[in-house]
Amino acid sequence: MKKILFIVIDGLGDNPVKMFGGKTPLEAAKTPNLDLMAKNGFCGSLEPFMFESQDAPTSEDAHIALFGFDPKRYSLGRGIFEALGAGIPLKSKDVAIRINFATVDSNLTIKDRRAGRIENTQALINDLNRIKIKGVKIFVKKAWGYRAVLRLRSTKDISPEITSNDPREIFKQPLKIKAKNKSRSAIFTAQLLNEFVLKSHEVLKNHFINQERKKSGLPPANFLLLRGAGRFKKLPSFKKVWAMKACCVAGGNLYKGIAKFLGMEVVKVKGANGGINTNLKEKINTAKKCLKKNDFVFLHIKAADCLAEDGNCAGKKSFIEKIDRHLKPLLNLNNSDIIITCDHRTDCNKKMHAKGNVPFLIYENQSNGIESFSEKSCNKPVMPSRLFIKFIVDLQKK
């Protein structure tokens, strides 16, 4: 069977944009390589997965579905994937939660939800790891920038069924963490996290790093906002389910975490950072090399989503053009199918993820007569994203 290079351009799909005369950023972008692949490949449209309670797909659920798994079973909470992506080992029943370092004033009113996008949090984290709370092992690890991940491990029953303390707005006070149900474990976990948040504020408020920040006119990282709690459990891996050895080339923590969770090897790439200046050349090179030892290589490119979330439609269009230029070395790969798709639309006018189908292409398989790669041109056949991997595998067998 042929090998598969599975490229996900996060948030690539979009809605019509006025400044592009009603075209989407992908339609407006000059993408000769994507168009050539579309012409010589099989194209169509995917319905990204979302839960009924959601207004738009999330990246994590959409990726789980793209890999052919049921998000109802496999989406364990963002905290779990972020923890794995940050390199925190997890055991069954561990609870993991995302942390933002934030700034509060003396009345505990939030002044900055990202503490001036602080980077050097390691000394703060070292002291947070000295906090003791009865019956629970607490471990904090730095993630990207102002973010960190918290792992709770306990012989007592702990639960991810707790609310966030992040009001998601400045000039408000952090919320109390509450149990989402009446179980003893959820009530206990909410109590212990409220205690941890208070103790951490005591550790952080006079910390030498924050004294220095205040002297330099920077907002101190003196409060923790917690969200995305999840509980770890081991589930059948990608290899077990699809009988393909898989690896992942990504810059963003979340995507590395999802890949690890599914049992894919995460390959390190110098300069891959999930940003606009990520090392695309090296990522594509690495992905090519990985095809030698793997049946399935997942290559994730993040920044189109971030640019759209910042409302930067022109930036998204030019980043798509940049990706396209870097795809050229893939045009004559032997014995491999290249898949290009995305996890969901990100609307650059509304600065948020949006509902709606997204295009896919499978190069180089039989062509179904499509001339370019875009939301409109690749509109048939339509399938739920969860069936996509099976569709690719079946297509290869033909």
Binding to Zn ion (CB under 5 A) within 86-125 occurs at none
- With beta carbons less than 8 A apart as the criterion, state whether 231 and 160 touch: yes
| Residue of closest CB approach to Zn ion | 59
Least separation, in Å, of the C-beta of 29 and Zn ion?
18
Stretch that binds Zn ion, among 189-197, 270-278, 306-314, 343-351 (CB under 5 A): 343-351
Q: Report the C-alpha gap between 167 and 109 in whole angstroms.
A: 11
Q: How far is the CB of 33 from Zn ion (least distance, A)?
A: 22
Least distance from C-beta 63 to Zn ion, angstroms? 7
Site for Zn ion in 276-305 (CB under 5 A): 305
Is 343 a binder of Zn ion (CB under 5 A)?
yes
d(CA 233, CA 245): 21
Count CB-CB contacts under 10 A for residue 237. Answer: 14
Please choose, from the candidates 261, 254, 260, 230, the residue with its C-alpha nearest in 3D space to the C-alpha of residue 96: 230
Which is closer to Zn ion, CB of 227 or CB of 344? 344
> Which one, 196 or 319, has the nearer CB to Zn ion?
319
**Residue number with CB closer to Zn ion (10 or 337):** 10
Q: Which is nearer to Zn ion, 10 or 166 (CB)?
A: 10
Q: For Zn ion, which is the closer residue by CB, 60 or 112?
A: 60
Kindly tell me the sign of the dihedral angle through the C-alpha atoms of 267, 71, 252, 175: negative
Task: Give the C-alpha separation, 195 to 206, whole Å.
Answer: 18
> What would the two tokens of residue 161 be?
């069924």
Name the burial class of residue 56, with classes exposed (0-12), middle (13-18) and buried (19+) by CB atoms within 10 angstroms of its CB: middle
Binding-residue total with Zn ion (CB under 5 A):
5
347 touches Zn ion (CB under 5 A): no
Distance in Å, CB of 57 to Zn ion, minimum: 8
Q: Minimum distance from CB of 242 to Zn ion (Å)?
A: 22
Stretch that binds Zn ion, among 43-51, 157-165, 185-193, 339-347 (CB under 5 A): 339-347
Q: Supply the minimum distance, in Å, between the C-beta of residue 316 and Zn ion.
A: 13
According to the binding rule CB under 5 A, does residue 75 interact with Zn ion?
no
| Minimum CB distance to Zn ion smaller for 337 or for 343 | 343
Stated as kind and residue range, the H or E segment containing 392 is helix 388-397
Nearer to Zn ion, 343 or 364 (CB): 343
Stretch that binds Zn ion, among 6-14, 122-130, 166-174, 182-190 (CB under 5 A): 6-14
CA dist 210 and 223 (Å) reads 11
Indicate the residue among 8 and 209 with the shorter CB distance to Zn ion: 8
**CB of 154 vs Zn ion, minimal distance in Å:** 32
Minimal distance, residue 385 CB to Zn ion, in Å: 12
CA proximity to 391, closest of 361, 346, 350: 361
Pattern 41-60, binding to Zn ion, x per CB under 5 A?
------------------x-
Q: How does DSSP classify residue 117? A: G
Instruction: Report how far residue 361's alpha carbon sits from residue 375's, in angstroms, rounded to the nearest whole number.
Output: 11
Q: How far is the CB of 314 from Zn ion (least distance, A)?
A: 20
Tell me whether residue 213 or residue 386 sits nearer to Zn ion (CB atom): 386
Residue from 239, 235, 237 nearest 295 by CA: 239
For position 253 contacting Zn ion by CB under 5 A, the verdict is no
**Comparison of 82 and 305: residue with beta carbon closer to Zn ion:** 305
Nearer to Zn ion, 112 or 343 (CB): 343
- At its nearest, how many Å lie between Zn ion and the CB of residue 108? 33
DSSP at 351:
T
Could you tell me which residues come within 8 angstroms of residue 259 by beta carbon, excluding any fewer than 6 positions away? 246, 247, 248, 250, 266, 298
Give the torsion sign (CA, 357, 239, 98, 53): positive
The distance of closest approach from Cβ of residue 174 to Zn ion in the complex, given in angstroms and rounded to an integer, is 27
10 touches Zn ion by CB under 5 A: yes
Q: Which stretch binds Zn ion (CB under 5 A): 8-16, 178-186, 234-242, 354-362?
A: 8-16
Quote the CA–CA distance of 270 and 72 in Å, as a whole number: 34
**Closest to 233 in 3D by CA, of 88, 73, 99, 78:** 73
Q: How far apart are CA 219 and CA 210, in angstroms?
A: 8
Which positions lie near Zn ion, rule CB under 5 A? 10-11, 59, 305, 343
